[in-house]
Every structure is written in structure tokens, then in C-alpha cells.
Amino acid sequence: MTSICVLPGSAGEALASGISELLGVPVTECVVGRYPDGELRPRVEQVRGRDVFVVQSTSPPVGERLMELLLLLDACRRAGAGRLTAVVPYFGYARHDRLELPGQSVGVKVAADAIAQAGADRLVVVDPHTPALAAVCPVPVEVVSAVPLLAEQIAPAWTEAVVVAPDLAAAALAERYAQTMRESVALVRKFRVDQHRVSAREILGEIAGHRVVVVDDMICSGATIEATVALLRNHATDIAVAATHGPLAPGASDRLRRLGLRRIVVTDSVVPAAAGSPFEVCPLAPVLAETIAALHCGEPLHNPRFARRIRVYRPLERELVTLACRAVGVLSSTRLIRKCRRRACIGVGGG
């Protein structure tokens, strides 16, 4: 079996470090130099013949982060990487998924085509804004969900809550949260006035006297969350927010803080992650390490028995987590997970 290589871009250094620690492999260093005019010049080593995972979110500044990813993929391919996977937790340009007006581009396809052309054999993304990504990308796309991790962070202190989708596009995501948390679902109908203003019109579902968790795949300007909270405030007893991605636009964090919420939970898919109360950061390293180990070992990602293993990780002590993830070139991850469960006395899906 070829050895694994976790190689970070500048927007994936912290994530790559966490992933590598869980997998029990060192981070593969790369040098990203710059020409005087700002052009990037990456150089990679020790990737020949290896199973390489390049970790890089295309978060703001999106253009530069995407270009860095493309150059890293090209450098790895030219250096003889055996298999090359782009791990892009936050996939920029995913909102540009269709032609709304004549003369527009389809940014998600342009970005996906570029990643494939740069040398990627496969793409791993976390909760992309559009399901069209898998359809338009020339290489296989593995979609990882952060919902189990986010729901697990919220649920213990937020029982008997109603999961609220702030718009129709988030309804399927809200249903996944509700199934994980075993809670009910409500939907808000919204109308977008313009790029910066949103009007929430109607609540579909029963939330009166309940705490609610507003869920979305991403928060950018904060306008949708602001309008939703304004509508819910007179009906719900308390409000929390959970989103996979937080590519906050300038002024968005202050806008959200003014809402007076106690909890806004996002993952660390975007660098830098939102910080300070009421923001909480949920690390993606466990689910990405699990995904990378499965891909490297040729195990399925989407059968129920495999998916439940993610929930085994969180109650285990650090050394057990490391042991569970060291499926790389030693044993199958199935046998290691079973060994961990025996040592920790935890059943499948525990935690």
C-alpha cells in the first residue's frame, strides 16, 4: 500500500495539522514563495508515488486561495504523486451554480474544471452550497457532512429544541439536523430585497414556547440570520445558530453579535474562523481524518455502519482517537475501530 501524504495550503494548515495528528502521520511540508508582484510559487517534496491529500479551503480571498490550490495540485502531479485528492472543506464559487441572467458564467463549474485540469483525481468537500458540484465536476466528488459534529456539539445543552431552516434551500439540511438531534423542524419563508437585505415573512411549523436552532450551510453577510431571528424572537424562548461555513463578510460578525444570541456554532472550514462570544468553532479534523483514512484504504464512506464510526471518536481519549484513525498502511480501519471500542467499552454510535 502506498504511503499517505497530507499537504496543506495556506488556508488549510490548522486543519491539516489536526488531520495528520489523528492519522498518526506527519504533515508534508511545502514552501509557497512569492514573486515581488505577489504571484505564488509553491514547491513540494516527498510526494512521488504517494497518496497525496492537498488540504486547502477556497475561502476569502477566494481567487488567491483557489489559485494556490491549483498550483499545489500541479506541483504535486509534476513531482510524481501516485494519487491526488483535493480536500476543499469550503468550496468557493458554489453559489454560482446556474445561469440567472444572460451573459453570466457558472463559477462552480469553472472552479471544478480547473481543479480537475490541475491534476486532482478526486475532490472532497464539506456541505457544499450546491448539490450541482458533484454533477458538473469532471472527477469524483466525495461530499462530507458536518451535521453530525455540529449537532453533537449543540444537542447536549439544547434538548427539546425545534430545528429551523431560514429558507427553502436549507430545508433538507434542517431535516438532517432534526434526524440527528431527534427534534422537529420548522421553515421560514424569506424574500431577498437585495444583496444585503432579507425579509423573513412567515414561519411554517410550531415553535411557540420552544428553543430553536437555526441551521444553514453558510453565513456570509448575516442578513438571512438577522431576518430570521427577528421573526422568531417573539415566539421562541431561546435561539441558537449553527452553520457549516462562516466566510463572514466585513461587518457580518458585528451584525450577528448585535442579535444578542448566546450560541453561533460554525466549523473551522474557513480561515480565520469566527472567534469570541457568541461564536463557537467545531473542528472538522475528526470527520476529514475519517474520510481520508477510508479513501486511502478503499472503504465505503456512505454505508450506515461506516458513518456511525465518526460518533465513536468523540468520547475516546486522545490516544484512542489516534489509534482509531491509524488505518494508514497498518490495519484496516474497521479492525482498529473495533479494537478502540473494546478498550473504551463504547458501543457503535455511542457518544
Among candidate residues 261, 254, 265, the one with its CA nearest the CA of residue 236: 261
pLDDT, tens digit, for every residue of 26-58? 999 899 999 999 999 999 989 999 999 999 999
Total-model pTM: 0.83
Residue 106 belongs to domain spanning: 4-145+285-337
Torsion angle (degrees, nearest 10) of CA 68, 70, 75, 80: 140
Q: Look up the CATH number of the domain holding residue 28.
A: 3.40.50.2020
- Asked if the structure places residue 344 within a domain, the reply is no
pLDDT for position 40: 94
Catalytic option among 96, 190, 296, 341: 190
| % of the chain surpassing 90 pLDDT | 65
Are 261 and 289 in a shared domain?
Answer: no
Alpha helices (H) along the chain: 13-23, 62-78, 107-117, 132-136, 147-154, 171-181, 223-232, 252-257, 285-297, 304-307, 309-313, 318-325, 333-344
Are 247 and 294 in a shared domain?
Answer: no
Residue 118 has pLDDT above 90, yes or no: yes
Are 90 and 157 in a shared domain?
Answer: no
Are 208 and 118 in a shared domain?
Answer: no
Looking up cell 471500542, which residue turns up?
Answer: 341
Number of domains present in the structure of the chain: 2
DSSP state of 212: E
DSSP codes, 50-65: SEEEEE----SSHHHH
Grid coordinates given for 194: 437585495
Are 136 and 203 in a shared domain?
Answer: no
- Asked if the structure places residue 347 within a domain, the reply is no
pLDDT, tens digit, for every residue of 54-92? 999 999 999 999 999 999 999 999 999 999 999 999 999
- Asked if the structure places residue 322 within a domain, the reply is yes
pLDDT, tens digit, for every residue of 266-308? 999 998 777 788 999 999 999 999 999 999 988 877 544 444 4
Residue 106 has pLDDT above 50, yes or no: yes
- Asked if the structure places residue 14 within a domain, the reply is yes
Cα(126)–Cα(287) distance, rounded to whole angstroms?
10
Are 12 and 42 in a shared domain?
Answer: yes
Cα(10)–Cα(272) distance, rounded to whole angstroms?
11
Cα(24)–Cα(289) distance, rounded to whole angstroms?
10
- Asked if the structure places residue 343 within a domain, the reply is no
Last residue of a domain, one of 262, 282, 302: 282
Last residue of a domain, one of 247, 264, 282: 282
* Packing angle of the helix pair 285-297, 13-23 (nearest 10 deg): 60
Residue type, 276: G
Are 242 and 185 in a shared domain?
Answer: yes
pLDDT, tens digit, for every residue of 211-261? 999 999 999 999 999 999 998 998 999 999 999 999 999 999 999 999 999
Are 184 and 246 in a shared domain?
Answer: yes
* Packing angle of the helix pair 147-154, 285-297 (nearest 10 deg): 150
Are 159 and 244 in a shared domain?
Answer: yes
Are 217 and 193 in a shared domain?
Answer: yes
Whether 109 is a known active-site residue: answer: no
Are 139 and 192 in a shared domain?
Answer: no
- Asked if the structure places residue 55 within a domain, the reply is yes
- Asked if the structure places residue 346 within a domain, the reply is no
Are 109 and 238 in a shared domain?
Answer: no
- Asked if the structure places residue 23 within a domain, the reply is yes
